Amino acid sequence: MVISGKEKLLGIQYLRAIAALMVATYHIPAQVPGYGAMLNHAWIDAGQLRAGVDIFFVISGFIMMTTGRELSGNAFLRRRIARIVPLYWFMTLLLVVIALLVPSLLRSTNVTLGATLGSLFFIPYHGTAQVHFLSPLLAPGWTLNIEMYFYVIFALTLAARRYQLAICGLWFACGSLAFGFLIPHLSIAGFYTQPRVLEFWLGMALGAWHANHRARVAPAIAAVLAAAAYAILLRNPLQLSTDGLIASGFPAMIIVACVVEIERRGALPEVPILGLLGDASYSIYLTHMFTLGVLRTLWVHLPALERLGDIAFMMIAITALSVAGVGAYQWIERPLTRLARHFLTGSAERGAPVAVA
């Protein structure tokens, strides 16, 4: 991923690949009854794999702070829309078609006109798939709804470049303080002001530091990285909220900072497969539920496959969703994005990647 004309941060690409696979692996146990025991041990909680979302949010703030600050608010939003909307709309409409034509393939998707329009325009709703959570029809798209909210605030504050970091921090902090006290959790306002939104600001702060400070720091960087990674995956002995800044947000920021620093020190090797998966991470994220649904259907109807067991299912699932994601990236995401960029910006140049999960 090119951050500037002189610098290419492979580490961010690697983290995008890892975060996408974390979220996909988190969703695997729900596909086959009884699956998932192997992922839960005394020292690791498989439920914490959803912290890949927190890594994505920090990455997003970091990327926008290092690539988007020289743009006008209008140009910034056009580029972001061209990057996010095409594949998201394609997968959402595909889900609607499947729900209308072959509803047996889906578990709890309830398609209505209101839900479809809300999903397409990033307005979450209280659907049947998520009883205690607002989400669009394409369930993983809830992160995109928050991402678009962040983009709007970022664009509106671009004119105040010198004070943008402080303004965004104040805005997100005030919203988070109101969350739960003045704003109901299960409301659209509550959805966009949940404390997790502050993770974008953590990424922005990291991006600002990265752009303005070239000093090499943290001599024990590998140990710090390992500790932060373990903090995200451990079995939460302090019973912290798995969606909290302390349990996931700050460790995610530390992980991103450590990887960037390792690459700055020239100690990060080039791993083509991770680079490719990083490029395809947006496609992996949006297509993995479809891939897992197909695999689940095959698995439960073919006894020979079912006898292979949980470990085999996990390995096959991760391989399948990775291959499907790369295919979607090459043949769906890239052509649609080029078309959208040409239409919205008059350019087919490659933009900053989508850092969501």
Q: What is the mean pLDDT of each run of 10 residues along the chain (357 residues)?
A: 55 96 88 57 67 95 92 95 97 93 74 90 73 82 96 96 93 86 80 91 91 61 70 54 68 89 86 96 96 83 69 86 98 97 74 50
For the record, the structure tokens of 10 come out as 């492979």
In the chain, % helix, strand, coil (3-state, to 5) comes to 70, 0, 30
What pLDDT sits at residue 6?
44
Residue 204's pLDDT is: 95
Which contiguous run of DSSP H or E holds residue 105?
Answer: none
- Rounded to an integer, what distance in angstroms lies between the CA atom of residue 183 and that of residue 191? 9
Model pTM? Answer: 0.89
Cα 185 to Cα 192: distance, rounded to the nearest angstrom: 10
Q: Phi-psi category of 124—alpha, beta or left, where left has phi over 0 and alpha has psi -120 to 50?
A: beta
Q: What is the reported pLDDT for 183? A: 79
Number of H helices, E strands in the chain: 15, 0
pLDDT score recorded for residue 4 = 43
Q: Give me the pLDDT at residue 240, please.
A: 45
What are the Cα distances from residue 234, in Å, to 7, 47, 172, 253?
Answer: 34, 10, 28, 17
For the record, the structure tokens of 284 come out as 């992996």
What's the pLDDT score for residue 158? 96
